[in-house]
Amino acid sequence: MHIRLFHKTNSRSQRILWLLEELNLDYELVFGDTNIPNQEFESHQNNQPPTKFPTVHIFNNHSTDVMTLAETAAIADYLSHQSNDLGISQLFSPEILHYYFWKNFAEATFMPDLALKQIFAQIVERTPFPVRFISKFLKFGFDRGYLNQVLNQHLFMIDEHLKTRQYLAGNQFSIADLLLWFPLLACMQSNTEFESLPNIQRYLQHIQNRPAFQRALEKGQWSAVQFRSYWSKAW
């Protein structure tokens, strides 16, 4: 199996690049930053550039068919299933419940709430200056009335869960850890109030020390400065 990953720097597709390194799969990387002309993709996807990052092309060694798959969680599930690694096959019964909860919490709950922060910040930034106070007022009200409280609850719940655990599912690194990493890091680097959560700080340092993670950062041209700058504007 050979994989082509369409990747955008400092985006959620970094997690799939990390996964490919963890699973030691054969892959090639195609950067899809907005400053790269569409023709860069034309030889890869029949004149139809991907509209989502990450997107993968999966080439089967025994077939000429090429499968296209998008959505981070779907890609992660498929690749871990094909490799029989980093999924439920390595977990015991009590850990499987944690695995399913945190894997789905990352993409279905945590990431959408965090994305709302950035969406409202973009609305404020793009509102004409004479009436920008209106969008600022709406963002302030939504933050105070919902988002800040919910994100705080998410972070404190994660910190408490990690109090007695090395990883989200227990003692084994899994897809759940890989998926939660992005929104968790975005929150921790964007709001200094979250720096007081010791279990999350320990956990992030631990998973980010993994050799596959470090290789993925380099190959994906990750910029910690740009990442922090982008998400800090949401608060």
Handedness of CA 78, 111, 162, 192 (dihedral sign): positive
CA 214, CA 180: separation in Å to the nearest integer?
17
pLDDT value of position 86: 85
Residue with tokens 């919490």: 105
**In 120-133, which positions are buried (b, 16+ CB within 10 angstroms) versus exposed (e)?**
bbeebeebeeeeee
Share of the chain residues as helix, strand and coil, in percent rounded to the nearest 5: 65, 10, 25
Could you tell me the two tokens for 38?
Answer: 């569409």
CATH architecture, range 2-83? 3-Layer(aba) Sandwich (3.40)
Of 50, 90, 80, nearest to 179 by C-alpha is 80
Over its C-alpha atoms, the chain yields an Rg (Å, rounded) of 19
pLDDT value of position 3: 95
Block means of pLDDT (10 residues each) for the chain, length 235 residues?
Answer: 94 97 95 53 48 89 83 94 83 87 96 93 92 92 92 96 94 95 94 90 97 97 94 86
Residue type, 23: L
Q: Got the DSSP string for 49-67?
A: --SSSSEEEEE-TT-S-EE
How far is C-alpha 9 from the geometric centre of its chain's CA atoms?
A: 12
- Domain regions of the chain by residue span: 2-83, 89-232
CA 80, CA 188: separation in Å to the nearest integer?
27
Could you tell me the two tokens for 163?
Answer: 């109090």
pLDDT value of position 140: 92
CATH topology of domain 89-232: Glutathione S-transferase Yfyf (Class Pi); Chain A, domain 2 (1.20.1050)
pLDDT value of position 37: 40
Is the preceding omega at residue 112 within 30 degrees of 0, hence cis? no
Of 71, 114, 101, nearest to 174 by C-alpha is 101
pLDDT value of position 63: 67
Torsion angle, alpha carbons of 202, 207, 208, 210, to 10: 130
Report the phi/psi class of residue 137: left, alpha or beta, with left for phi > 0 and alpha for psi in -120 to 50. alpha
